[in-house]
Amino acid sequence: MGVTHLQWFLKKNPECCWAVDIKQLAEGYRSETGKEPIILVDGTNCFYNLYDFSRGDWLLGGQLLPFRKTLEHFVSCFKDIGVELIFYFDSYITPQKIDAWKDRQKTRVKEQKDIFSSLREGVLPKDRLMPPLLGACGRFLLKYVLRCKVMLSLGECDEEMARYARDKDVFAILSQDTDFVIHEGARYYLAMRSLDLKTMTTLTYSRLGLAKTLSLKPEQLPLLATLMGNDIIPYDLVQPFHDIICLGRSFDISNRVKKLANFVKSQQKGRLLLENLPEISFLVFGHPFKTNDLKQSIMSYKSNTSDLLEDTKDWEVLRIARERHMSCDLPPILYPVMRGQPYELRVGIEDLGGDLEPAAKVYLALRQKIYGILFHDDPTGQSTVDEWCVEREELPDQPLKVDVVNVTGDLHPGLLDLWTQDTPEMNLLRWEIFCRTISPRLSAADLDKVPSRLVVPAAALVRPSLDIIVGGNAWLLLRNSVVILSFSCGQSSLKYNKSFATLVDPPMDLEEWEVLAYISQAVLMGSMTVELLCEIHKVSIPDCRFVHVSSLIGRGVTTVQLLLAACGLPMEQRPWPTASHVLSQESHGSLQGKRKEERESHGRLIHIIQHPPSPSHIPSTCSRPQYTQSSLHAFSHPTDPRQFPTTAIQWEHLT
């Protein structure tokens, strides 16, 4: 991200980069301005740098509960020195950066192929991809558990952060994106990657120091960044020009940056520079056809309030969606889709060259129904949505046009009422719409028996395109989810039933025992602590199928979050706060190597869940449950009361 090779140049020049004590800087800012210091945090970059990839659980979707503790520690370290954090996240691809987005996805597809090649060879991969579920749920953890201010951008995240920082005279921006060195923004740009939470020190990169080192005016830096290569002007397009001005000499970053700075000094400034862009395009690219791209790149570093996107539809509910979007009360992509922007699904940890279907295709039918809810009374009558999704190793040249599908009919009261009316009748209607969208065979009454924290994982296993579960009939999963997941409420009225399993034969299938492994994990996680999870050994090398399925279910969770938001349901219901595919791997691994008749021992879990022991018969103090190759035995013969969740855990109750 950011300006190509600029970080290397900054680190080599002491006027541009030096170590700082954040507490001392904050105290100086407070003394000088009389204001409390605020740091704007690049949320996506923050998550990637904070997450512990060393355990290997990122391959299986990650562990949200330990990550929650990591975020809590991160926030408290800044709170202890009197600094408030505001987290910013981006929401969709802007048109001018779609080419850069494609290039990043191509890189990730290659990384993805390397990951699965390593797994097939029996070694843990070197490349690391952030699990999508952690990013999706992490935003809500910050907002609803840690009570931080969280913002979603309306356009380019770095531009909006810089604008906010400049207009509010913000203390600092914390990120690892050199675009912030070019922007006129906060007083300090702090490096996320160099942050030491024990000493509260890091590196700072200086905009004024860069300009001084190169004998440029700060307002000339946008042209320099453009000619170095960024998200709008790819580096490979400007590299031939670099070779020309450096006379074809060996690659040397310092020399190239200085030569580019000399070229920038020879150009006009301000409005005259913009008028001279056709000539610059000819000099750099050999033709004038990149004039608009040059202008877009330069102007992206000079954002102002008037650059904020305005709604083009005369639709009252769109105003509400905008407000909820900006305050992170909606999933990031929902509001952009409502205002006509493409839906976007980035590369996950999926084996795109394998036999299993990609998540984009598996959950396409559910997305179409979600669009049907959102555009039920759209004044423009929108009937299709563009989608940028990575479904195979070759990326599409154009977005896919997806039809809007309406399955709610007269049940839909109109989006404004669905989102704003607060009555018991409307809340029931929201759940009925949710259930009908998931499956026509499902009603809100069926979900009454499922603790609210488990509604999302149950619904995520449904494949609406064929009304099936990833491993069987949709009704089968939801019926048996009620049996299994209602354990925490002591319900036992429904009986386990296999009769629906043979109704369909899906092209991409999970066996029943695999579905039960995920359901077991969801139940068990309701009573797990961070300490117990961290005691579980590091992830063993999983098979490719399990990695792909873990990613698939994670994508299902985020898609169900989108559905809940479209139905106007409360945010606390949306994420799956207790996900841990490490536990799923324990169940999966112990079941995978067993004969069919041995797998049926998992039925003991069903019996235990249907007939839970009385709390009086459970010892008050017990040893930690052993989640090893005998994890099924632990599930079937519980000895630890923490294995029996007794309440529906909401965000604020996470421990």
> Per-residue pLDDT tens for 234-255?
999 999 999 999 876 667 889 9
What average pLDDT does range 73-89 have in this prediction?
Answer: 98
What average pLDDT does range 19-29 have in this prediction?
Answer: 98
**Res. 623 pLDDT band, cuts 50 70 90:** very low
**CA 578, CA 584: separation in Å to the nearest integer?**
12
Q: Which residues contact 481 (CB under 8 A, 6 or more apart)?
A: 450, 454, 458, 461, 519
For the chain, domain boundaries? 6-98+121-213, 316-612+621-653
- pLDDT at residue 539, rounded to an integer: 60
Q: Which residues contact 97 (CB under 8 A, 6 or more apart)?
A: 156, 231, 232
CA dihedral of 331, 230, 74, 131, whole degrees rounded to 10: 50
Question: Edge-to-edge, what's the strand order for the sheet holding 188-191?
Answer: 17-21, 201-205, 188-191, 172-175, 38-42, 84-89, 149-152
**Res. 630 pLDDT band, cuts 50 70 90:** very low
Read off φ and ψ for residue 221, nearest 5 degrees.
-65, -35
CA angle 132, 143, 48 (to 5 degrees): 35
**Res. 96 pLDDT band, cuts 50 70 90:** confident
Per-residue pLDDT reduced to its tens digit, 343-398: 999 888 888 888 788 889 889 999 999 999 999 998 888 999 999 998 888 888 89
Residue 247 three-state SS: coil
Average pLDDT of every residue of the chain: 78
**Res. 498 pLDDT band, cuts 50 70 90:** very low
How do strand 472-473 and strand 201-205 relate by DSSP bridges? unpaired
**Res. 573 pLDDT band, cuts 50 70 90:** very low
Provide the b/e sequence for 76-114 (b: ≥16 CB within 10 Å).
ebbeeeebebbbbbbbbbbebbebbbbbebeebbebbee
Which of 631, 646, 362 has its CA nearest to residue 513? 631
Distance of alpha carbon 97 from its chain centroid, rounded? 19
- For tokens 């200085």, what's the residue? 258
Q: What predicted TM-score, i.e. pTM, was given to this entire model?
A: 0.82
Of all residues in the chain, the percent with pLDDT exceeding 70 is: 73
- pLDDT at residue 482, rounded to an integer: 46
- For tokens 């929108």, what's the residue? 382
Q: How far apart are the first and last CA of the chain?
A: 35
pLDDT exceeds 70 at position 536: no
Regarding predicted confidence, which is higher, 134 or 367? 367
What average pLDDT does range 66-93 have in this prediction?
Answer: 94
Length of the chain (residues) = 655
Q: Hey, what CATH topology would domain 6-98+121-213 get?
A: Rossmann fold (3.40.50)
Regarding predicted confidence, which is higher, 392 or 28? 28
**CA 134, CA 49: separation in Å to the nearest integer?**
13
Q: Is 219 exposed, middle or buried (0-12, 13-18, 19+ CB in 10 A)?
A: middle
**CA 26, CA 7: separation in Å to the nearest integer?**
24
Least confident of 274-283, 310-319, 391-400: 310-319
